[in-house]
Amino acid sequence: MVSEHAPSATAQVLVASNRGPVSYTLGEDGTLDAKRGGGGLVSGLSAVDDKLWVCAALGDGDREAVRRGVGEAGVRMLDIDARVHADAYNGIANSVLWFVHHLLYQTPVEPVFDAEFRRQWASYETYNRAFAEALAEEAGPGASVLVQDYHLALVPGMLRELRPDLRIGHFSHTPWAPVDYFRLLPDDIAEQLLRGILGADRAAFLTRRWADAFIGCCTEILGGTGRTRIGVHGLGADADFLRRRSHEADVDERMAALREQVGEGRKTIVRVDRTELSKNIVRGLHAYRALLDAHPEWRERVVHIAFAYPSRQDLTVYQDYTAAVQTLATEINGAYGTESWTPVVLHVKDDFARSLAAYRLADVALVNPIRDGMNLVAKEVPVVSDHGCALVLSREAGAYEELGEDAIVVNPYDVTGTAEALHEALTMSGDERSGRTKRLAEAATALPPQQWFLDQLEALRQG
Ligand code: F6P
C-alpha cells in the first residue's frame, strides 16, 4: 500500500496531513508540474530543521510522481490505493466528519449510517494505518510527530502502539461538535475517533470553544480525556508575507481590473471563500439582496465582490452548492442591475493575487460562516486593507474569539440581521473604521504561523 521508500529514521519533527505542501499535475506530454501550496502549516514549518512532512498522493499527477520517484526533500507522499483514499477522504472525512463538526446535516433525512458507511469506515482505518506505519518508519528515536485534522483522527492511537517512544500531537483545524451532535455518530465510531485522538500526548485546537467541546465529548462518552493534555493555539495571519505579497505587480494589476468592474466612487463589500457549505455564501447573497431592499439608497452605490473558489467538486452536494451560489448571483444581477451597475461581481476561478487585490480595496468584508475552525480571511483583510475595512463577522467563526470586539458581529442564520450589519458597516465613519482595522490587525497577527507551530512543538516536548 505504502510506496517504496528508504526510511531515514532520523527525522526529529514530523508532520502528517492529507494534503501536503506540494502537488503535481501530469501534462499531456507526460511532464510533471509541481505546485507549492501555502497556508499556516507551510509557513509554520519553515521555522524548523530536520523535518519530514508525510502526506497523501491526491491525484494522478501525485501518484505518477511517487511512481517515478520525483519529489521534494523533506516530503514523503503516500501512494494509497485510489479507492481507499476516495472512501476515506470523500466518504468519511468530508461527508461525515466535516458535516458533524460543522453541524451541516439535514437531520430529518440524514445521516444514514448503513453498510456503505461501514465499508467506507474500513477504508478510513486502512488510510489512517498507512500514515501511522509510514510515520513509525520515518521517525527518529523520541521524535515529535504532529498529526493534522479530522482526516487522521485514528493515527495517534495507531502510532502510539507502533512507536511508544514518540511524542505525538494532534491538531484539529475544524470546530469540534457539541456532544449531542457528535452522538449522531454510531457509538463505536464515536468512541474510536475520540480514543484515536487521545492516543496523542497532546490534542490541540484553534480556540477554547472547540477544545471544551472535545473535552465535553470525551467526558460524556469515555469518562474523561485520560493522560492526554489539551491545548489551544489560535493561528494568526502572516503579516510580513501578506504585506509584501499584496504589493507585488500582479496584485496591482488585478486591483485596476477590479476597480474597473466596480465603477468610480462605489463602495465594496468583499467576501473570499472556498465554495464550501459551511461558509454560508448563499445566505450572504440573500443578506446583500435584503440590504438593497431595506436600504435602496445603496443601489448603484455599492458592489458585492464575491470570490467563491471551487472545493471538493467530487461531491454532488458541493457541486449543487456551487450552482446555487451562481444562480443566486445571476438572479440578483438580473433583478437589480442596471446598464452601468452590476450589483454582484462573482468570480469562481481561484486567484490568490486577485483575492489580495480585493482585500486591499474592500470597504466591508463579509465573513459569515455557519461554523468555522478559525477563518483566516477575517484575519487577513485588516492586515492588507489599504484604507480601513469594516468587518462583518459571524459569531460562529473561531476568529470571533479574538476579533469579536472590533467586528460587527452577526448570527449567520439571521439574513435580516446580516443585512443591517452590512448597512452599519457601510455607514461607519472613516475614523472609526481605521481605528477598528488597526486593532483588528493587531489581534489578527498576535500569533504568526511560525510561532504558532513552534509553540505547539515546545508544548509537546515539555509534556
Ligand atoms: O479546515 C480544515 C481543512 O483541512 C483546512 O486545513 C483546509 O484549508 C481545508 O480544510 C481544505 O480542505 P481540502 O483539503 O479538502 O481542500
pLDDT for 8: 55
DSSP secondary structure code for residue 93 in this structure: I
Verify whether ligand 1 is closer than 6 Å to residue 59 (CB atom).
Answer: no
What secondary structure, in 3-state letters, does 123-136 show?
HHHHHHHHHHHHHH
Identity at 40, one-letter amino acid code = G
At residue 7, the pLDDT reads 52
Query: What's this model's pTM, rounded to 2 decimal places?
Result: 0.96
Instruction: State in Å: Cα 94 to ligand 1 middle.
Output: 9
**Test site for ligand 1: of 92, 127, 173, 311, most ligand atoms within 8 A of the Cβ:** 173
pLDDT of residue 79: 97
Determine if ligand 1 sits within 6 Å of the CB of residue 19.
yes
Give the 3-state secondary structure of residue 68. Answer: helix
| Residue nearest (by alpha carbon) to ligand 1 atom 9 | 173
Given the CA of residue 373, which atom of ligand 1 is nearest to it?
Answer: 1
Residue 312 CB less than 6 A away from ligand 1: yes
> Nearest C-alpha to atom 7 of ligand 1 is from which residue?
173
The DSSP secondary-structure symbol of 392 reads E
Q: What is the three-class DSSP state of 440?
A: helix
The owner of cell 460562529 is: 396
CA of 273 to the centre of ligand 1 (A): 12
On whether the CB atoms of residues 425 and 390 are closer than 8 A, the answer is yes
Query: From the alpha carbon of 372, which atom of ligand 1 is closest?
Result: 1
Closest C-alpha among 279, 277, 312, 309 to residue 91 = 312
How far apart CA 306 and CA 346 sit, in angstroms, is 5
Is 368 close to ligand 1, i.e. is its CB under 6 Å away?
Answer: no
For residue 232, what is the enclosing H or E element? strand 229-232
State whether residue 170 is helix, strand or coil: strand
ipTM: 0.95
Cell numbers for 11: 527525522
pLDDT at site 10: 83
pLDDT confidence of residue 66: 96
Strands 202-205, 167-171: pairing kind: parallel
For 210-221, the pLDDT digits (tens) are 999 999 999 999
* Cβ neighbours of 67 (radius 10 Å): 12
Q: How many CB atoms lie within 10 A of CB 268?
A: 21
Residues of the chain scoring pLDDT < 50: 1-6
- The number of residues making up the chain comes to 463
Centre of ligand 1 to C-alpha 140, Å, is 28
Looking at residue 39, its pLDDT comes to 85
CB-ligand 1 contact for 420 (6 Å cutoff): no
